[in-house]
Chains A and B, each alone.
Chain A
Amino acid sequence: MSARVLGIELRRSVALLAGAVIVAAGLAVAFMMFQKDTSLGQWTAYAGLMRYLLEILCPLAIGAGAWQGRRERRSGMTELTATVSRPAWQRVLPVSGAMAITVVVGYAVVFVAGVVQVAGNTTYQHLGWLPIPLVGALALIASGWLGLGIGTLLPSAITAPVLVAGSLMGLIALRVLVGGKAALLSPELGGVLSDHFVAPAPRVTIAQVIWFAALAVTGIVLATGIGRRRLFALLPVALGLAVALPLLPATREATYVADPGAAEPVCTADLPRVCVGKAHANALQPLVGPAREALRLLAPLPGAPTSVAENTRDTYMTSQVKPQPSDVLLVSLPTYWLDNRSRLSMTEEEALSELLLGAGTTPCVRYHEDPNPAELEQYRRELDARHLAAGLLLGKPLRTFGSEDKAMWPALQALSPEEKHRRLGALRTAGLSCSGDLMEILTGSGAR
């Protein structure tokens, strides 16, 4: 492809405008929605956030491509270009190349706008996040080229706006209504990347590369094909789906893999040892005080922990880390506990309360997005018991007590120290292995 002709297309086609729109829309949305997002504290999370942005930027790229696609018809150039010798697939290279360059540069500009912030915020510098924006860039290119193809096929003035609106609604529907593995056919990666200790599974990256590449090829075939040859455009889409769908994982958990670099422990030099994941190194110092106080309060209990470590496997407590080792007090630091720089955004007292939940055990009842009433009741009961246990250890009710907790608190508070100790010990033992109903154990109705 001639650099001179590419330059002409960069200057004169819709490409430059497309890039500018990507920059403007991207920065506007990022500024309005993500300015305070804790994802700005970690590379992988930030890259995931920028993928979320594509739910808006990809439809815009499709629209820009569609507008460009009708240029030949709009300019009355179809007659002249029908008589030139350069093959159609070569003819589309400069305009598609210009489109690819500008949307990727636009996306890069939006991405770079947050880079300085992330680089300054995080203690975990790495390049493992790079595939995330690269796949995002491929999704943008595919969108632009798909729009180009459709715009060439249907060179109407309404094609572009209809495609923008349609693709925007389609992508939202894919995420909200369809879900499952099909949702991963969208450029967005899902909110779980805000968990600082995971990265997209390689199979997800591979599947998305295949899918978006197939869409891009489809766009080019549509843009270059004439008449029935355009039917060949269905081939790459079908092939992309046939390969990508089986590769995509069926469950949300399988969409992500642990990031061992982020979870690498960063610990205090002195004892008792307190550790956090490398990604949360900034949270270590503020955590040390409450963590050691929690160890002191738990020390009288049987099988008391002797160190504190961040639970990097289960930040959002959506799955059990069981059986839980008794000598380590595991603490989760979800992003809502943290600020942009991954420092604790809660008071020491709040942190101590969290550390003492369930007498220093992690939850047993798994919480998921759509629980049935029985599951919800089970979850609530365990949560109440965990809070009451923390209150008993602190000797005062927690601010986070619910109405059930408040109702039970006077009776529990009135127990003798020995009985409190016995019940808390029993609750901790049960909590470590998830055996028994914590509320029954705490209230005495099922205490052993």
Chain B
Amino acid sequence: MRVVNAAETAPTGYAEAVTATGLKVRAGRRMAVDGLDLALGTGVHGLLGPNGAGKTTLIRALATVLRPAEGSLDLLGLPATGNPREVRRKLGYLPQDFGFYPRFTVREFVTYLAWLKEMSKVDIPAAVQRAIEKVGLADRADDRMKTLSGGMLRRAGIAQAIVNSPELVLLDEPTVGLDPAQRVEFRGLLRELGEHSCVVVSTHLVEDVAAACTDVVLIASGRLVWQGTPAALAAAGGADDVGDSPTERGYSALLAAHTDRRGADW
């Protein structure tokens, strides 16, 4: 099986919202992202990989939480290691461990985050209402965060991530806690966001990627394994590969090939 490099698979027309070259990022003492080359433009990019592949570390680096140890990382045309303020204004981020102020209402929480993102104060109320409606929390907008269920909290987290109409949206495990109907709605939201923004979704759920993403980024051991369309991912799998769906079989096939190749390299 041929491992496709990023440059070949990046859909044409991408504005290269994310460009990583030889990117290395530490997670504690471990080099969790270890020489990654990646180019991402407008669209929805599903970030797949096994546990410990470096997905969250990569997302955190893209979110400017972690600084690259080596290599270069450009976000929205600007170096991530410089002044990240410009990038952060256009960033939407949902961390894996999403924290929130329990005493705030949903509206207050999203308003507060909009202010932290330096949105114009005249735009904030409408943008907050829009974001809350998009995640289906309009009827709970004035309820306190601590009264929400896990799935609702996740949706509130997505609302704060998208309130500033970000050009780069980073969602780490966004569908955790969502029920099937909510996941379907969320995929629609992702597709909508991806029309104008670069959306990076880290997930274990391959079917989410298949349904909502325009591009799949498969990483393992901190490196890019494969990048391509969901259709190409599905095509990569065979009948004997592990998985209930074509995309899952493609995923396991690509990972297995990567593991074999690494073994051969050794």
Contacts and interface: CB of A to CB of B under 8 A. Distances in A.
Interface of A: 2, 4-5, 8, 11-12, 71, 75-87, 91
A2 to B, nearest CB: 5
B117 A86 contact: yes
B58 interface: no
Contact of B64 (A11, A75, A76, A83): A83
Contacts of B118: 84-86
27 contacts: A2-B115, A2-B124, A4-B121, A4-B124, A12-B101, A75-B99, A75-B101, A76-B99, A77-B99, A79-B99, A80-B93, A80-B95, A81-B116, A82-B65, A83-B63, A84-B88, A84-B113, A84-B116, A84-B117, A84-B118, A85-B84, A85-B117, A85-B118, A86-B115, A86-B116, A86-B118, A87-B85
Contacts of A91: 116
A76 B95 CA distance: 10
Given A85-B117, A91-B116, A80 B98 contact: yes
Interface of B: 60, 63-65, 84-86, 88-89, 91, 93, 95, 97-104, 108, 111-113, 115-118, 121, 124-125, 160
A360 to B, nearest CB: 69
Contact of B101 (A4, A71, A83): A71
A76 B97 contact: yes
Contacts of A11: 108
A86 B99 CA distance: 18
B89 A8 contact: no
A83 B112 CA distance: 14
B171 to A, nearest CB: 13
Contacts of A84: 88, 113, 116-118
Given A80-B95, A83-B63, A75 B115 contact: no
A11 B95 CA distance: 26
A8 B112 CA distance: 8
A85 B88 contact: yes
B117 A12 contact: no
Contact of B65 (A12, A79, A86): A79
Contacts of A81: 116
Contact of B113 (A75, A78, A79, A80): A80
B98 A5 contact: no
Nearest to B93: A83
Tell me what chain A mostly uses at the interface: helix, strand, loop, or mixed. Answer: helix
Contacts of A75: 99-102
Given A2-B115, A2-B121, A84-B116, 6 more contacts: A5-B115, A8-B108, A80-B160, A81-B116, A82-B64, A85-B85
A75 B144 CA distance: 14
A38 B117 CA distance: 54
Contacts of B86: 85
Contact of B111 (A5, A76, A82, A83): A5
Contacts, number: 73
Query: Which 9 pairs across A and B sit closest by C-beta, in order of nearness?
Result: A76-B99, A85-B88, A84-B116, A77-B99, A85-B89, A79-B95, A12-B103, A5-B115, A83-B63
A76 B113 CA distance: 14
A12 B111 CA distance: 13
B111 A4 contact: yes
Contacts of A77: 99-101
Contacts of A4: 111, 115, 121, 124-125
Contacts of B63: 83
B132 to A, nearest CB: 15
Given A12-B104, A83-B93, A85-B88, A5 B99 contact: no
Contacts of B101: 12, 71, 75, 77
A87 B113 CA distance: 13
A75 B102 CA distance: 7
A77 B102 CA distance: 11
Contacts of B121: 2, 4
B155 to A, nearest CB: 15
Nearest to B109: A8
B242 to A, nearest CB: 33
B88 to A, nearest CB: 4
A91 B65 CA distance: 17
Q: Which of A8, A78, A81, A91 is most buried by chain B, counting CB atoms within 10 A of its CB?
A: A8
B97 A8 contact: no
B100 A83 contact: no
A91 B102 CA distance: 18
B157 to A, nearest CB: 8
A78 B99 contact: yes
Contacts of B60: 79
Contacts of B99: 75-80
Contacts of B95: 79-80
Contacts of A71: 101
Contacts of B85: 85, 87
Contacts of B65: 79, 82-83
Q: Which of B85, B102, B112 is most buried by chain A, counting CB atoms within 10 A of its CB?
A: B112
A79 B97 contact: yes
A83 B91 contact: yes
Contacts of B91: 83, 85
Nearest to A13: B103
Q: Which of A8, A12, A75, A83 is most buried by chain B, counting CB atoms within 10 A of its CB?
A: A83
Nearest to A14: B103
